[in-house]
Amino acid sequence: MGLALLQSTAGDVLGQTASLPNLLTNFKEHGIKSVQEKVFLHLDRPSYVSGDILWFKVYNVEGTFHTPFDLSKVAYVEVLDAEQKPVVQGKVALKYGTGNGSFVLPTSLSAGNYTVRAYTNWMKNFSPDYYFEQPITIINTFQPLNLPPVTDTASFAIQFFPEGGNLVKGFTSKVAFKGVNSNTGKGANFQGEVLDQSGTTVATFLPSKLGIGHFSFTPTISTDYTAVVRFPNGKVVRQKLPVVQEQGYTLGLEEKKPGELVLTARTSDQQQGSLYLLGHTRHAAIVAATAQPVNGLATFSVVKDSLTTGITHFTVFNSQLKPVAERLYFKYPTQQLEIDLAVSKPSFATREQVTLEVLTHREKGTPTTAELSLAVFKQDSLNPHNLADIKAYLWLSSDLKGTVENPSSYFTQAGPQAEQALDNLMLTHGWSRFTWDEVLSPQPPAYSFLPEYQGHLIKGKVTNVATGEPARKIRTYLSSPGKNIRFYSSVSTDNGLVLFDVKDFFGSKEVVVQTNFLKDSTYHFQLEDPFSTKYTARPLSALNVDSTSKDAIYARHLDVQAQNIYFEKYLNRYRAPGIDSLPFYGNPSKHYFLDDFTRFKVMEEVMREYVPGVMVRKRRGNFHFLVMDNPRRIFFEEDPLVLLDGVPVFDTNKIMAFDPLKIERLDVMESKYYNGSLVSHGVVSYTTYKGDLAGFPLDTRALLQEYEGLQLQREFYAPTYSTDEQKLSRLPDWRNLLYWSPNLITGENGKASSQFYTADQAGTYTIFIQGLTREGLPGSKMVTFEVKKPL
């Protein structure tokens, strides 16, 4: 992507001045150090009942070009209630930027609106405003709704946003506004007027879309202007406009002729030196220019074709490189992933097969491969929310502060009115993935959270038991008892923090955290919750379900009941994660399966008789192992790493006192083994028959706790009706979600197909498919079909 140096129509272009290159260098370096990720979730539907399974597909992309991003290998997904407390949480494995998972929504959940959010560990370094969030509705059909009667308790708020950021005396400015119902967060209808200090009307305004619009006026005094806004229910809101500055800067943007944007910077400071303009799209510098204002005016011309799809952020800097005005502009995509979705026919009988044919292409006649996710669900009155659209999210709402109401609607209309509505949106939102102070600071940014580019990072802390102070430079070990041996170590920082990079850590496991208590005996361990504790200020609207939803609620109740009663054995089937079954040390030098030998009842006899690569020594009444250093054909002089089901055992006396009849296998590594900074003089690893330590007594000072690893992938189940016997089955099928396919891949010819069966409910069903190409082009498609009961 090239960087365009712009022409200005006022003043000389100073493309080679020292300030502009320095600004661009700082901006580029900040982008490299602060690489951005975006997480998008495709949910299977917008509403659920308690006891339902919520399915989702995770897309993780690089923040600038939206290509699938393989930086983070874990996504964190949560469902939050109205108080932003998590009701379910999960860690989802990512591979090449995608993953999928599911939640069983607890039957104890109260009816209400909830938020599904997702992020990576690296994203926790930045504002939670840029986590993915999607509102959903959950109804508890086992409890009475007891909803309060709907009354007109609406309260309203309105905000004003001068174009460029400031109102300056004597300069005509465009002022955008946004009026919302504070209870719902939705845009409101209203009419308003702006009054000066004497009560004279200087401007009137009406919203054009979703409570958003703009007006223009020229502030002639440096005192306050007041907006009087009247809403349909008779409520009147009086709101001060932003303060008018005596001296300052404004920045306006217009498309004065097709294909050309004109940015006009004005300043009341006649002694102002050069002005610098930088335009960037998602942290990639696109345009840059320098100009000397003439009579306080500098004008920059930008060719639209030089801009990248999405939001371009224009910033004007003064001669001291201080940002003084900003403006956002949105460029519609000239190319996207087009998805053609053909349904075998427009209507179907109950329990009839539906065939879908999918074609993905960049433009007509140019097929492309894409990774897609597809959901088929029944439309009913319990679906008040619009499902997030990957196009609208990546190109629009993910780069804006605050909530964008119905972002996909900005992509479904065309023409001057639609373009004006989108530009009004740009005027009312800001871009704040960074502040310019961060970019211009000579100090590199310091981040607390690392990207999980190998596997899940388990973070803990080591403290002194007596003082509670952080313990520094303490070697700490984490392990999980099992037959698939995994073992990790970390040395605590000056703050007592330890970090374990655990790969292929799936499912709920018991973990053991300890140090070598023969050396370090006074330490306490705790593991940190890896989920983010930062939350947005976006309000959730109250649940509003009326009596007309009675039939829909009853149908959803039958759906969950029937599935849990008749199909329970199919609902909790999981795919094997496909992890490496080798122990962390790889193939050992020697394997000993003890059932192949005469079984001794004393461990010392086993070691002396059958394991020549390990010498047993006793010093001062304590046992020690010395392992053969096979490459040099001599025994190490230091103790090896001794493990039982992956758990390190530092007191060899304990392993020698253990019942050898409980041991199935013994591995010996006859060489040095390097695990990060830990160097072991050989490894002696015992495995019990069940991998559960078989009653071995752990040190009471060790931390033993249950830890939830990465989600195992639940298999989606839907009954088939390919035979007459299946069609005539009396098992009820009230499924609201007919089909979920999170990994639908089109080939090089752009084609793929899917089949599923309808259920017993007549009605209108929605097919929602969306996804991404390898080059980062997003696309989506929504179609409907009917299911009718046979006559």
Instruction: Give average pLDDT by consecutive 10-residue segment, the chain, 791 residues.
Output: 47 46 87 93 96 97 96 98 96 97 96 96 95 95 71 78 94 95 86 93 95 95 89 90 92 92 90 87 91 91 93 93 93 92 96 97 89 96 87 95 89 88 92 81 87 96 94 95 89 96 92 91 93 90 79 90 89 86 87 94 94 94 94 92 96 96 96 90 96 94 95 95 94 96 96 97 97 96 95 75
How buried is residue 672: exposed, middle or buried, by Cβ count under 10 Å (0-12/13-18/19+)?
Answer: middle
Whether 244 is in a domain gets the answer no
Residue 308 lies in a domain: no
**What pLDDT was estimated at residue 16?**
37
User: Are residues 494 and 482 in contact, defined by beta-carbon separation less than 8 angstroms?
Assistant: no
- Whether 718 maps to a domain, the answer reads no
The answer to the question of residue 686 being in a domain is: yes
Q: How many angstroms separate the Cα of 193 from the Cα of each of 48, 203, 217?
A: 43, 6, 11
Amino acid 146: pLDDT? 67
CB within 8 Å of 576: residues ≥ 6 apart: none
Q: Which structure tokens are listed for 215?
A: 């007006």
Task: Report the phi/psi class of residue 309: left, alpha or beta, with left for phi > 0 and alpha for psi in -120 to 50.
Answer: beta
Which amino acid, 240? K
Q: Which two tokens stand for residue 765?
A: 């069903």
Q: Record the pTM.
A: 0.93
| Dihedral over Cα of 336, 341, 346, 347: its sign | negative
Is the residue at 642 inside a domain?
yes
Phi, psi of 540 (to 5 degrees): -100, 135
Residue 605: φ, ψ to 5° = -65, -40
What is the DSSP secondary structure assignment for residue 409, as one 8-state letter?
G
CB 37 within 8 A of CB 123: yes
Measured distance CA(766)–CA(754) in Å, rounded: 15
Cβ neighbours, 10 Å, residue 571: 15
Query: Which domain, by its residues, includes 627?
Result: 591-708
Decide the pairing of beta strands 614-619 and 622-629. Answer: antiparallel
The answer to whether the beta carbons of residues 394 and 66 sit under 8 Å apart is: yes
Token pair of 216 as six digits: 């223009």
DSSP codes joined into one string, 574-623: B-------S-TT-S-SEEEEGGGSPPPSSHHHHHHHH-TTEEEEEETTEE
The CATH number assigned to the domain holding 681 equals 2.170.130
CB neighbour burial string for 605-628, b if at least 16 within 10 angstroms, e if fewer: ebbeebbebbebeeeeeebbbbbb
In a domain, 82, yes or no: no
CA distance 35 to 732: 51
Compute the distance between CA of residue 140 and CA of residue 556 in angstroms, rounded to an integer: 10
Domain annotation covers residue 649: yes
Flag whether 401 is in a domain.
Answer: no
How many domains does the chain divide into?
1
Shortest CA distance to 66 belongs to which of 368, 369, 372, 308?
308
